[in-house]
Chain A
Amino acid sequence: MALVKVYVNYKQSILNPEAEAVHKALKRLGYADIEDVKLGKYFELTVADGKSQAEMDHEINEICDKLLANYNMENYHYEIEDAEAAQ
């Protein structure tokens, strides 16, 4: 098994009012040195064995493009880990 960690976040040009609300709350709590907050989505996909690295890259990119991220406003990246080792 492999563990795929997918990170989806808004493109730089997109306003993220939720992240701004979190940032303001941190300032209210006194963390004046926090200059920026990003708030996105994180997925862990457990993938069965049997695919080559290239096949897995192809599949994960397809999943991200189709469903996990909206290319219009979001970017994504992912890391592939050995699931047993990760546990």
Chain B
Amino acid sequence: MKFAVLEFPGSNCEMDLYNAIKDIIKEEVELVSYKQESLAGFDAALIPGGFSYGDYLRSGAIARFSPIIPALQQFASSGKPVLGICNGFQILTEAGLLPGSLQKNVSAKFICKDETLVVNNNHSLFSSEYQKGQLISLPIAHGDGNYYCDQETLKSLIAHDQIVFKYTNNPNGSVDNIAGIVNQQGNVLGMMPHPERAVEDVLGSSDGKGVFQSIVKHIKSRGVIYE
């Protein structure tokens, strides 16, 4: 199977993602420029962290109008897995692929440290390799990671079991301790913590591997999805 890693001007985690897939998960992976207009031939799309367009205006707000985005929206609506990490999560909310938005951390500080997450839902295609309630440690590194949505949206997220990861010690003020959510269809995940920075013990944790292994398992069991 083949992963696409999208690259925007100002992305800075694309090589971490690329190497995690190539060296640890041992699947095919290719970098895809924001200028491209097609994701044909890929089984899953990954949107890396960073500061696309310098976070000008709002995080993700300008990247959301890149030439690759219509292809990404089509890719997502065909049911293929899309994972946005950190700035990737911000781009997905700006693009309307996930509800809510990411605001400034309540402390107004950029936070860069390991956080403990609880796996709140292990039947998403991104979390099936974990146990429900399992505690995992992943690094966070963000200034705008405070997930916000209105009460009605939160109720809907809970009712449809869309909250995949929660913080055990909320670092940024996110509503309901949310660290990662999926769309209602379950094939688009956005999360602020960085699983790609926790894929081997030498990095301090290999707890992030499960996210990518879950995607691979899903695709291999489901087979090719045609757009």
Are A and B genuine complex partners? yes
- A48 sits at the interface (CB 8 A): no
Count of A-B contacts with CB under 8 A?
35
Q: Chain B residues near A46: list those with CB within 8 A.
A: none
A64 to chain B, nearest CB (A): 12
What are the residues of chain A within 8 A of B150 when measuring CB–CB?
13, 72
Interface size on A, residues (CB 8 A): 14
The proximity string for A residues 12-56 relative to B, scoring 1 for CB distances below 8 Å and 0 otherwise, is: 011111101100000000000000000001000000000000000
Known: A67-B57, A72-B100. A18 touches B94 (CB 8 A): no
From the candidates A21, A41, A68, A72, name the one contacting B148 in the complex (CB within 8 A): A72
B149 within 8 A of A: yes
Is the Cβ of B61 less than 8 Å from the Cβ of A70? yes
Contacts of A16 in B (CB 8 A): 104
Q: Are A17 and B108 in contact (CB under 8 A)?
A: yes
Residue B70 interfacial (CB < 8 Å):
no
A14-B148, A15-B173, A17-B108 known; A68-B57 Cβ under 8 A:
yes
Give the residue of A15, A41, A70 whose beta carbon is less than 8 angstroms from that of B94.
A70
Q: Which of B58, B148, B150 has most chain A Cβ within 10 Å?
A: B58
- Where the two chains meet, the residues of A that have a C-beta atom closer than 8 Å to any C-beta of B are 13-18, 20-21, 41, 67-68, 70, 72-73
